[in-house]
């Protein structure tokens, strides 16, 4: 290829022109002219989009005599320049990470994306040591102020890229970190002596050269200690040829910083400045303003003897060698199809979260406040400063327990702040968040003086956690921020940072980040506290738990769409967790078929028979732990009225496994009706009173003794002749009374105090209409037989509503996320959130099949998979292990836990809306088909 190039074309190979994919045909023609007429060596793409950039790349490559090197400033990934692509954390954020292997992973992934987009050279990493908090151009783009940390992370990032086919360029030589001037607008001066430059600024460049960096970018700096002529370093033969190439023995590609920056163009004519940069020793000129003029000036320089043709040829040959190294000798056009999808893979997105998670830095954690414990003792307020709407940070906090939101705009008035101060007095824990409204995390505060003062006063109060979603240098501008009992810094403000910081506070994830820079005298570089998480749910992507997003979301979305289209359900919630990692939590459809109110993840569903394993059963397991009964005890031991009945001697073990010969159910509500369908006058009244306190609906009240009549009906009911598995509601209707006989207190407060409140399961409740607006409660059946109205806010089951809404067989409501906390506790064999609720031995006993020899699959209270797989009619997915357990509910609910795979699955729906006669959900087998998708989505380990 070298032999085919004219002298001018060899000069042109050393120039990289600026290209954009967000500009019109005029720019496109301009680029084609540079390529076809002047034979430039490459292009650096700036703003645009991946599909447009790839299409233009193909067009430009087709027009070029020599394949073009395609470069990009992609310090934090393609998202730095291209829309619809991933932006990884800034380098200062990465500087907080302790595991440099993660930076190698990032380099590998950035290289994959770059090559997929047709990009061969990344002008990264930045290895400037940022030891000037007021640096306006490097700052958050630096790994920090510790030269060794900067070098190690630069090497890891570089190797990840170069090992995977992308040439990297360390910048900005010989070190742009200690300046308060932006070289885009003026020429910064670095006044340090040579000894200081050798030991600090030059250190990372030496290390990266020794590690095999392919390129180095030279900055526009005035450094008298290295060149007394005070010319910009880009034009200095002393700095480029003598220092970089000879003394440091760098033989790779030396590239200028952009030649349109004022730091180099001020006082230098176009073309001449490019000539001087090449004469100084640079191999490649980036962003030359006038390429034809630059070629002409360089040609003159050869004639004048300022540079030899041999030197030009050597640099051209080096450029061609780079092109060969990146594979341009085997050039293939970029494939446009699916480029956006293939750039934004789940693995690529997960890596961004992993990097952010690893960077989170805890600076204060008084009394081990984080992760939060004893949620039932906390009244939590979350205050976000610098925003006027609820944030992802606040919304994620609410996944763990009830949290009240407050927002404070950056210019909040005195009256607004006074009102907030009054409101916060009601809470015993405040979580504050300082947000950044800028595009980049600069070291400035935009909060008004009085808002800053409010933040300072708040931070100094006890039981306050502050999360700072800003550049760490801002900590020095926030008075008394260091007094906060808990202090977390995330370095930048985005959805990942907000969600993960909230998860850290509640123990969903751990933290071990370290400050990459010092903040005045408050915190030194390298400081940070470890916080151990993993005690509660982590909300993440499927790949983080060893599952495939495409299978999980694609197939579940399809199955739910099928159910919605068939009108098997109006809507639903689907929740999937693996190994305490929530990989899917999604709401679908509408609350009913009127298509007006969309289901939200926070909506409460009637759990129906899932109540059995969510109320009476946890109480019974806890009491079993406390040796309040044995499984050989009988019903009469706890309910004296059952003495002398046909059920007096039935052991609890038989009862809990549904083989005690109980009838399946009784339609208790029918006994309230006369033959003509009207209500019996002594049973139901239109007004409440002392004798009629149980509200069934508006203007419909049940006699206070009717629950006793239900118990009496159960006591008097005949037993089935054969002892075998027959599912029955009877015992769980009685369960609250059985439990109360052992605890000497009311059933529901006991369950609430011992389970739901400490779990943070704040939506798990009976009679939700008493606590939540109807808009958050999903309606069930249109009851034309008993209550004669659509059921909304009260339990669907007639027997449960006649027990006052509180029963052990039905009546419980919840959203999927809160119910999952209880189910995860079961899967953890009795532990969740750092608290043990039930012993592992008890949970293992209650969740195992008790009587397989009697062809009874049931555990104690829990359901189990069929003993033999029954195909489409099986009660669980084929993939569910024999150790798995759970329960289903009449309203279309399903919960299941599998200890072998660590899976928790919850499906909540209201298939009984508008009528229980709608059995399409069963016929479609939607719930178990979705369950099987979870197993299909598991990433199988290679043999």
DSSP 269-283: -TTHHHHHHHHHT-S
Number of helices followed by number of strands (H, E) in the chain = 31, 30
Name the fold adopted by 552-936.
Answer: Beta-lactamase (3.40.710)
Tokens 């403000």 belong to which residue?
493
What distances in angstroms separate CA 311 from CA 255, 276, 280, 315, 628, one per listed residue? 15, 14, 11, 6, 92
Q: Are 602 and 776 in contact (CB under 8 A)?
A: yes
| pLDDT at res. 438 | 87
CA 405 to chain centre: 20
User: What distance in Å separates the CA atoms of residue 103 and residue 125, rounded to the nearest whole number?
Assistant: 11
Q: Are 380 and 431 in contact (CB under 8 A)?
A: yes
User: What distance in Å separates the CA atoms of residue 841 and residue 796, rounded to the nearest whole number?
Assistant: 35
What distances in angstroms separate CA 111 from CA 45, 108, 207, 487, 865, one per listed residue? 16, 5, 21, 35, 47
Residues of the chain with CATH 3.40.50.1700: 360-536
User: What distance in Å separates the CA atoms of residue 668 and residue 684, rounded to the nearest whole number?
Assistant: 13
What are the backbone dihedrals phi and psi of residue 921, each rounded to the nearest 5 degrees, phi first?
-60, -40
Burial (0-12, 13-18, 19+ Cβ within 10 Å), 68: buried
Q: Are 797 and 608 in contact (CB under 8 A)?
A: yes
Give me the helices (H) in 44-100, please.
50-63, 91-94
| pLDDT at res. 943 | 35
User: What distance in Å separates the CA atoms of residue 291 and residue 287, rounded to the nearest whole number?
Assistant: 9
* 200: nearest Cα among 239, 248, 254, 146: 146
* 143: nearest Cα among 95, 200, 215, 211: 95
Residues of the chain with CATH 3.20.20.300: 2-343
Return the CATH class of domain 2-343. Answer: alpha beta
Instruction: Write out the two tokens for 909.
Output: 């729906």
Return the CATH class of domain 360-536. Answer: alpha beta
Under 8 Å CB-to-CB from 418, ≥6 apart: which residues? none
3-state SS class at 634: strand
In order along the chain (943 residues), what is the average pLDDT of each group of 10 residues?
96 98 96 97 97 98 98 98 98 98 98 98 98 92 98 98 98 94 89 96 98 98 95 97 98 96 89 97 95 97 97 98 98 97 98 98 98 98 96 98 98 97 98 93 94 97 98 96 98 98 98 97 97 98 98 98 98 98 98 94 98 98 98 95 95 98 93 88 94 96 96 96 96 97 95 98 98 97 94 97 97 98 98 98 98 97 96 94 98 98 98 97 98 95 44
Residues of the chain with CATH 3.40.710.10: 552-936
Under 8 Å CB-to-CB from 274, ≥6 apart: which residues? 15, 259, 285, 288, 293, 294, 297, 298
Tokens 């900590």 belong to which residue?
475
User: What distance in Å separates the CA atoms of residue 236 and residue 187, rounded to the nearest whole number?
Assistant: 14
**Helices 101-116 + 147-162 axis angle, to 10:** 40
| pLDDT at res. 872 | 86
């Amino acid at each position: 290829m070298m032999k085919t190039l004219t002298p001018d074309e060899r000069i042109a190979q050393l120039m990289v022109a600026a290209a954009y994919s967000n500009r019109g045909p005029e720019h496109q023609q301009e680029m084609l002219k540079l390529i076809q007429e002047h034979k430039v060596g490459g292009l650096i793409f700036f703003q645009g989009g991946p599909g447009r950039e790839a299409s233009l790349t193909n067009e430009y490559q087709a027009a070029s005599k020599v394949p073009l090197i395609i470069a990009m400033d992609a310090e934090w990934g393609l998202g730095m320049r291209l829309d619809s692509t991933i932006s990884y954390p800034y380098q200062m954020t990465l500087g907080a990470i302790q595991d440099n292997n993660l930076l190698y992973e990032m380099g590998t992934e950035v290289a994959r994306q770059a090559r997929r987009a047709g990009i061969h050279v990344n002008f990264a990493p930045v290895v400037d040591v940022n030891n000037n908090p007021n640096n306006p151009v490097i700052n958050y783009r630096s790994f920090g102020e510790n030269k060794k940390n900067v070098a190690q992370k630069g090497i890891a990032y570089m190797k990840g890229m170069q090992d995977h086919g992308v040439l990297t360029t360390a910048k900005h030589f010989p070190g742009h970190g200690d300046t308060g001037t932006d070289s885009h607008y003026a020429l910064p001066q670095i006044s340090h002596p040579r000894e200081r430059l050798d030991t600090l600024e030059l250190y990372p460049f030496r290390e990266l050269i020794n590690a095999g960096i392919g390129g180095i970018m030279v900055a526009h700096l005035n450094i008298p200690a290295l060149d007394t002529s005070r010319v910009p370093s880009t034009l200095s033969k002393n700095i480029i040829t003598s220092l970089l190439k000879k003394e440091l023995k760098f033989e790779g590609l030396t590239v200028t910083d952009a030649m349109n920056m004022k730091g180099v163009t001020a006082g230098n004519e176009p073309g001449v400045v490019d000539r001087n940069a090449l004469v100084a020793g640079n191999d490649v000129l980036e962003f030359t303003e006038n390429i034809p003029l630059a070629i002409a000036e360089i040609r003159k320089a050869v004639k004048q003897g300022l540079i030899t043709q041999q030197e030009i040829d050597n640099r051209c040959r080096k450029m061609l060698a780079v092109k060969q190294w990146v594979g341009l000798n085997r050039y293939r056009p970029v494939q446009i199809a699916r480029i956006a999808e293939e750039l934004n893979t789940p693995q690529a997105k997960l890596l961004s979260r992993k990097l952010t998670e690893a960077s989170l830095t805890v600076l204060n954690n008084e009394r081990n406040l984080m992760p939060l414990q004893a949620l039932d003792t906390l009244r939590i307020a979350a205050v976000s400063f610098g925003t006027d709407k609820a944030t992802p940070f606040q919304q994620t906090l609410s996944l763990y327990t009830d949290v009240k939101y407050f927002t404070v705009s950056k210019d909040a008035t005195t009256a607004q702040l006074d009102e907030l101060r009054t409101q916060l007095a009601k809470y015993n824990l405040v979580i504050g968040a300082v947000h950044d409204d800028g595009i980049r995390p600069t070291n400035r505060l935009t909060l008004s003086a009085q808002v800053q003062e409010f933040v300072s006063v708040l931070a100094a109060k006890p039981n306050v956690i502050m999360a700072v979603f800003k550049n760490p240098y801002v900590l020095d501008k926030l008075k008394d921020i260091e007094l906060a009992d808990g202090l977390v810094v995330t370095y930048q403000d985005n959805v990942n940072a907000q969600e993960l910081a909230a998860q850290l506070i509640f123990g969903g994830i751990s933290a071990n980040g370290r400050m990459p820079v010092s903040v005045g005298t408050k915190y030194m570089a390298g400081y940070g506290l470890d916080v151990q998480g993993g005690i509660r749910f982590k909300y993440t992507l499927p790949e983080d738990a060893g599952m495939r997003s495409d299978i999980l979301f694609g197939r579940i979305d399809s199955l739910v769409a099928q159910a919605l289209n068939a009108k098997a359900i109006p809507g639903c919630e689907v929740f999937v967790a693996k190994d305490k990692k929530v990989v899917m939590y999604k709401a679908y459809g509408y609350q009913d078929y009127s298509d007006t109110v969309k289901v939200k993840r926070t909506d409460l569903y009637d759990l129906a028979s899932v109540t059995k394993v969510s109320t009476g059963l946890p109480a019974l397991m806890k009491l079993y732990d406390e040796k309040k009964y044995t499984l050989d005890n009988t019903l009469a031991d706890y309910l004296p009225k059952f003495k002398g009945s046909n059920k007096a001697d039935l052991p609890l073990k038989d009862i809990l496994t549904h083989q005690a010969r109980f009838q399946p159910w009784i339609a208790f509500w029918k006994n309230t009706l006369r033959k003509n369908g009207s209500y019996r006058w002594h049973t139901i009244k239109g007004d409440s009173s002392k004798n009629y306190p149980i509200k069934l609906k508006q203007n419909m009240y049940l006699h206070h003794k009717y629950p006793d009549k239900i118990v009496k009906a159960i006591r008097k009911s005949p037993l089935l002749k054969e002892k075998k598995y027959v599912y029955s509601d009877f015992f769980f209707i009685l369960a609250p009374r059985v439990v109360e006989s052992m605890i000497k207190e009311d059933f529901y407060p006991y369950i609430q105090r011992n389970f739901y409140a400490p779990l943070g399961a704040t939506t798990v409740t009976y009679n939700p209409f008493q606590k939540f607006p109807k808009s958050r409660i999903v309606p069930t059946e249109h009851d034309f037989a008993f209550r004669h109205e659509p059921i909304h806010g009260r339990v669907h089951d007639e027997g449960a509503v006649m027990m006052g809404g509180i029963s052990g067989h039905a009546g419980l409501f919840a959203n999927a996320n809160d119910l999952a906390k209880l189910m995860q506790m079961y899967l953890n064999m009795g532990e969740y959130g750092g608290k043990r609720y039930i012993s592992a031995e008890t949970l293992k006993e209650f969740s195992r099949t008790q009587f397989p020899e009697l062809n009874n699959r049931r555990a104690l209270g829990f359901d189990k998979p069929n003993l033999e797989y029954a195909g489409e009619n099986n009660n669980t997915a084929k993939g569910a292990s024999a150790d798995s357990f759970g329960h289903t509910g009449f309203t279309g609910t399903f919960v299941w836990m599998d200890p072998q795979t660590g899976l928790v699955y919850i499906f909540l729906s209201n298939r009984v809306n508008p009528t229980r006669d709608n059995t399409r959900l069963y016929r479609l087998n939607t719930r178990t088909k979705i369950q099987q998708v979870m197993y299909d989505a598991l990433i199988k380990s290679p043999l």
